Chain A
Amino acid sequence: MVPLEWYIGLSAVIFVMGAIGFMIRRNLIIMLVCVELMLNATNISLIAFSHYLQDLRGQIFAIFIITVAAAEAAIGLAILVVLVRNKGAVHTTEITEMKG
């Protein structure tokens, strides 16, 4: 049996990679992809806890997180489509209208 700390470590590594990717990329589509990566990392952690503490609330919480992540991905991509229609670019260097 694999100890619980390994699952938490794996979830932390994937979460930190998603956070680093969100901070260093300039393409808005890849930034949304990194948000999905972070949400999946928390799901891994929740389901690992649910298995090791023999409680099913972790899996229920993970179902709701998947639901909210799907809804948020849909709305984020709709906003992206409108942005490209108005600005013509998904690169954050082009979107500088509010820059001081």
Chain B
Amino acid sequence: MLPVIAFTYFAISMTVLSALVITRKNPVHSVLFMLALFFHIAALYLFLNAEFLAAVQVVLYAGAVLVLFLFVITMLNLRWEAAYEPFIEEWPISLAVGLSLLLLVFFTTMNFVKGPVGQYTIEAIKSETNTKILGRILYTEYLFPFEIASLILLIAIVGAMVLAKKK
């Protein structure tokens, strides 16, 4: 009973928060509602036995990406943005397209076949911690994508510095 109540709270609050994120006129308000949404998402990951990813979500997304957004917003210092209309004129069409996509996903979810069950049961994960097992898989079976991810981060750092440099 309690997981259902908790999930209902998370679903309603996440829907309301993401609706607030996309409709605020002030970008700082939008980013702050996104911060609240990220905390809710991290709590949802804790329900799904993904403790490492909950911590990574809070530290990385809420702590680094959002701070980067806030830095850029305050650095750009746009005050005349308030005079513009926030939405485009053809917004009912986008709403209709989005809702039809949602309908498509609902019809697909009703009759899909789940794949085969893997070997990492919850008891096996709880015997050693989630982080330890994730680390073991990441460094043995998925080592090559891990190295490529580090290269992607390097390119992102160098690219951002080269792009934003003043002449």
A interface residues, tally (CB under 8 Å): 69
Pairwise interchain contact B31-A56, C-beta atoms closer than 8 A: no
B-side contacts of A34, CB under 8 Å: 21-22
CA distance A48 to B3 in the complex (A): 14
A-side contacts of B155, CB under 8 Å: 71
Interface of B is mostly: helix
CA distance A70 to B2 in the complex (A): 34
Provide 27 A-B residue pairs closer than 8 Å at the C-beta atoms, listed in order of the A residue.
Answer: A2-B4, A5-B110, A9-B105, A12-B105, A16-B101, A17-B19, A17-B21, A24-B91, A29-B76, A33-B21, A34-B22, A43-B53, A44-B41, A54-B118, A54-B121, A54-B122, A56-B133, A56-B134, A62-B50, A66-B60, A69-B61, A70-B153, A71-B152, A80-B72, A81-B72, A82-B163, A90-B81
Top 4 A-B pairs, shortest CB-CB distance? A21-B22, A55-B118, A71-B156, A23-B94
Seen from chain A, the residues whose Cβ lies within 8 Å of a Cβ on chain B are 1-2, 4-10, 12-14, 16-21, 23-27, 29-30, 32-34, 36-37, 40, 43-44, 47-48, 50-57, 59-60, 62-64, 66-75, 77-82, 84, 89-91, 93
